[in-house]
A and B are shown apart, each in its own frame.
Chain A
Amino acid sequence: MTVNGWIQIALFAVLIIALTKPVGYYMTRVFAGERTFLSPILRPVERVVYAICGVDESDEQHWVTYAIAMAFFSLAGFVVLYLIQRLQGVLPFNPQGQSAVEQSLAFNTSVSFVTNTNWQSYVPETTMSYLTQMAGLTVHNFVSAATGIALAVALIRGFSRRSAQSIGNFWIDLTRCTLYILLPISIVVGLFFVWQGMPQNLNAYTTVTTLEGAKQVIAQGPVASQEVIKMMGTNGGGFFNTNSAHPFENPNALTNLVEMLLIFSLGAPLTNVFGRMVGNQRQGWAIFAVMGLLFLTGVTTVYHYEAGGNPAFAALHVDQTASALQAGGNMEGKDVRFGIANSSLFVTATTDASCGAVNTMHDSLMPLAGLVPIVNIMLGEIIFGGVGSGLYGMLIFAILAVFIAGLMVGRTPEYLGKKIDAKEVKMAMLAILILPFSILGFSALATVLPAGLAGPANAGPHGFSEILYAYTSATGNNGSAFAGISANTPFFNSTLGLAMFIGRFLMITPMLAIAGSLAAKKIVPASAGTFPTDTGLFVGLLIGVILITGGLIYFPAVALGPIVEHLAMNAGTLY
């Protein structure tokens, strides 16, 4: 680890803190339906969208209606995306002549992008036409992110409203988020990305003759426009197979910094939106503190093990020491322009959030560095998190934390003036338990079936980690991978598709039920017996609840993978 490396990590943290308040202010205005500086241009467009779709702006929805609207919209998106992939061979914008995507792969990809997962069983540059990338995948990069944010805002309304039957209107939240937040930032930052070297064209791939006389085919395409929303929407589906490691998706250290900032650029401010909407910004900062501390723990762990390098190289006369001339460390699966510090930061951020973009091959991380992304996703990606899903995931843990605090002192738990009753706690437990049900269930299935055991590329405990990572990533709607696994098979495409569906929709439903139930409650004024939820004590309690819950559920599984691999590696065992 170097001083410069720590300065780069600190710079990232400071920039995230700096943008939380102003972006949070802007987002709060957007979701309250107030005027913003973009309203003169966007308000007319917004009106046209409502007119075409038959949306009444004064209409407010019950939580069940809100959930149904979200479900139908996701279903319609799934069908359209599936059809585009199956028909891409006869549709325009296909200079490489890509043929129709195979059925189980098209199913997997459609679920993947609709659920904001962006797990990729395919190699994009040899599979997808430009039309599929733009009108199929890019669209879901926008709307699945907008859906997540809309859901989080709906839950916040549950806390902030009193004796109300409704939690907002899904169509309005979706449209305003896309038009006022995602699109303007995408245009500005996307052009910046082109300036920095990302391609943005519709040309066929370029064939060149290299200096040594070999033929090299350079894949091209409308990269920048997809890259920006891929990061900001915590989608993570690369335009190319190696994602943000590919020089066209991440040309230099500056684009890398901006991409990492984009991952948290909406998730961190959403904590401030939360604080503003419930009338006390300190409530938002308490949640931010929990996320920030867990983030720093993760990045420190990854950086420590990656900077240490691979002990098996030590006897081979390889120089892994950091110096002025090289970053050193474990460089397998890393690009030189990012080195160790920026790779460690990216690994942590992309799995704290449900992003899943990678600038490093996670499969080649040192065992305990590779444990961090797995644990980040297992905890529910609540560390700033997927846009929207991170905040609602964290608030579910907060409900659990106040419930446990209430049990300890023998009082009915309250959170933000709302009494937390049996119904909310049951729904919160349902939302928390659905993830291990899918992650552990499918992993166990894959490790006993021949079709599952055919997947891993690495032998020994690392092979098990590849399977565990796959179902963790799919269920958590992350999309990153220990990518050695051969997942483009009917078995993996279908089970991973199911895992993505379960992880998204079976978690959302109890969460919306909580939102609806809370909105209907009165607000109880704080009394001397109220447990304050904007203090260091609450921050510590919430971190404890998250880690104890996660540890109890997942420790046996991760012990069989990364932890045993670490011990074997130190004993000099190879597989």
Chain B
Amino acid sequence: MLKQIRPAILMIVVMTVITGLAYPLGMTGLAQVLFPHQANGSLIERDGKVIGSSLIGQNFTSDKYFYGRLSATSEPDPKDPTKTIAVPYAADNSTGSNLGPTSKALIQRVQADTARLQKQNPSVPVPVDLVTTSASGLDPDITPAAAYFQVPRVAKARDIPEADLKALVAAHIEGRLLGIIGEPHVNVLQLNLALDALKKS
């Protein structure tokens, strides 16, 4: 029985060296050479400044931008570190709302957000992804329905014809891979960057 103690200790050391150091560090080296952009977080720059990652959603509250999903992330309160405050799209503290389907808090939140969005575009019902929190709290995408829903508001705020904006949204819809895998979506940050570029040109 005691004969198994020595291999047990040595085996965990050997496996730590192989799978815990050589493997991840070797993979980091390879990744940095082969795919440096992705390996460093798919960061995007504008005017020489890093303004985010194409994979990580950002919080948009201005009428001039398309909104993303609701986000349930939080950060420690700067005034009292034992408490937390809501900070949407905190990309160093990902979380979902974890509200169950019969939660009063969930239904009240959806009711309030739906009423607010309804005023901005009363013609159609609000797409469900605009009033629900994402799983990651960092969802970079919205559905095409949610993007089209916001066109009247953004068009008014930017004084751009709605038809131009609809064309911009259509150009930013990423379809299913091979027409089968995944769901059609619009990357909100990319769409808003294109919106800003539209204004300049």
Contact = CB atoms under 8 A, between A and B. Distances in A.
Given A212-B59, A246-B136, A326 B129 contact: yes
Interface string A232-270: 000000001110011110011110110000000000000
Contact of A219 (B38, B91, B111, B185): B91
A139 interface: yes
A364 B98 contact: yes
A103 to B, nearest CB: 20
A178 B23 CA distance: 12
B101 A364 contact: yes
Interface stretch (A74-82, A391-399, A422-430): A74-82
Interface in B28-45: 28, 30-32, 34-35, 38-43
Contact of B94 (A135, A246, A359): A246
B102 A568 contact: yes
A229 B153 CA distance: 45
Interface string B9-32: 111111110111101110110111
Interface in B49-92: 49-53, 55-62, 65, 69, 89-92
A330 to B, nearest CB: 7
Contact of A212 (B12, B60, B182): B60
Contacts of B4: 65, 68-69, 72
B51 A209 contact: yes
A88 to B, nearest CB: 13
B164 interface: no
B32 A200 contact: yes
A80 B21 CA distance: 14
Interface in A347-405: 358-361, 363-367
B14 A462 contact: no
Contact of B127 (A143, A316, A319): A319
B143 A138 contact: no
A458 interface: yes
Given A200-B32, A254-B177, A77 B12 contact: yes
B19 A142 contact: yes
Interface in A295-318: 309-310, 312-313, 316-318
Contact of B60 (A77, A211, A328, A565): A211
A217 B92 contact: yes
A69 B8 contact: yes
Interface in B84-142: 89-104, 106-107, 110-111, 114, 118, 124-129, 131-142
Contacts of B27: 187, 190-191, 194, 200, 222, 224-225
B135 A326 contact: no
A329 B34 CA distance: 39
Interface centre among A125, A256, A482 (most CB of B within 10 A): A125
B198 to A, nearest CB: 14
Nearest to B50: A208
A359 B136 CA distance: 8
Contacts of B15: 139, 142-143, 178
A225 B25 CA distance: 9
Given A195-B35, A247-B55, A319-B125, A241 B95 contact: yes
Contacts of B138: 242, 246-247
B5 interface: yes
A339 B69 CA distance: 13
B133 to A, nearest CB: 6
A494 B185 CA distance: 43
Contact of A366 (B60, B101, B126, B142): B101
B28 A329 contact: no
B140 A247 contact: yes
A250 B159 CA distance: 37
B167 interface: no
Contacts of B133: 332-333
A463 to B, nearest CB: 8
A365 B101 contact: yes
Contact of B185 (A224, A337, A360, A565): A337
Contacts of A190: 27
Given A134-B20, A211-B60, A333 B98 contact: yes
Given A77-B12, A198-B38, A336 B142 contact: yes
A208 B128 contact: no
B157 interface: no
Contacts of A219: 91-92, 94
A482 B59 CA distance: 26
A63 interface: no
Contacts of B143: 325-327, 336
A560 interface: no
Given A65-B4, A72-B4, A319-B145, A483 B60 contact: no
Contacts of A324: 144, 184
A254 B180 CA distance: 11
A31 interface: no
B165 to A, nearest CB: 15
Interface in B169-201: 176-177, 180-185, 189, 192-193, 196
A360 B133 CA distance: 11
Interface in A430-488: 457-462, 465, 482-484
B151 interface: no
A190 B62 CA distance: 39
Contacts of B16: 80, 135, 139
Nearest to B104: A574
Nearest to A133: B24
A326 B145 contact: yes
Interface centre among A4, A222, A246, A363 (most CB of B within 10 A): A246
A226 B31 CA distance: 13
A190 B19 CA distance: 13
A194 B35 contact: yes
A199 B41 contact: yes
B8 A75 contact: yes
A197 B58 contact: no
B28 A225 contact: yes
Interface centre among B91, B131, B133, B143 (most CB of A within 10 A): B91
Nearest first, the 4 A-B pairs at minimum CB distance are A253-B182, A484-B98, A245-B135, A339-B183
29 contacts: A75-B8, A126-B93, A134-B21, A179-B18, A194-B27, A195-B38, A203-B40, A206-B53, A208-B43, A208-B51, A210-B58, A241-B93, A251-B42, A257-B181, A312-B107, A316-B110, A319-B128, A324-B184, A331-B129, A331-B132, A332-B97, A332-B101, A336-B143, A337-B139, A366-B101, A367-B102, A484-B98, A484-B99, A575-B103
Interface of A: 4, 7-8, 11, 45, 49, 52-55, 65, 68-69, 72-73, 75-77, 80, 123, 125-126, 134-136, 138-139, 142-143, 171, 174-175, 178-179, 182-183, 186-187, 190-191, 194-203, 205-206, 208-212, 214, 216-220, 222, 224-226, 229, 240-242, 245-248, 251-254, 256-257, 309-310, 312-313, 316-320, 323-339, 341-343, 358-361, 363-367, 457-462, 465, 482-484, 565, 568-569, 573-575
